[in-house]
Structure 1
């Protein structure tokens, strides 16, 4: 799940990476957090796509 804390930590690591650089442990953490974030986004997109229903125009005109 994507939380505010997750986003804040991802952003903090990105800012540090641009500035002074990351330690190997921070690079691993950043990768792990990004994977969690991407998994959450993919889940949201999949849920949204699962809710889409196609309707035939012929069926609409009958009503």
Structure 2
């Protein structure tokens, strides 16, 4: 299963568990533990994806001058994404 498909399946299962939690039946102890694991996996993946997007970012002001934060530039240099 591709990573994107896997994360879609994780999100679907989290939503299923959320819907069940709202019913009178509620969640079993096993489902509560599963939900916690799935949420942690989802958040970890989200953070990694967001970090990757920020690290690829280049920021320019209205005059066309690059104003990318130095911290981001350093990370880009370390990853071989930037020459300067």
Q: Which runs of 5+ in 2 are unaligned?
A: 67-84
Single out whichever of 24-33 and 46-55 deviates more from structure 2.
46-55
Is the partner of 1:47 in helix, strand or coil?
helix
> How much has 1:53 moved relative to structure 2?
2.6
Richer in helix (by share): 1
| Paired residues, number | 60
Q: Which runs of 5+ in 1 are unaligned?
A: none
TM-score (norm 1): 0.77
TM-score (norm 2): 0.60
CA RMSD of aligned residues (A): 2.2
CA distance in 1, matches of 2:59, 2:19: 43
- Return structure 1 stretches of 4+ with deviation > 3 angstroms: 54-60
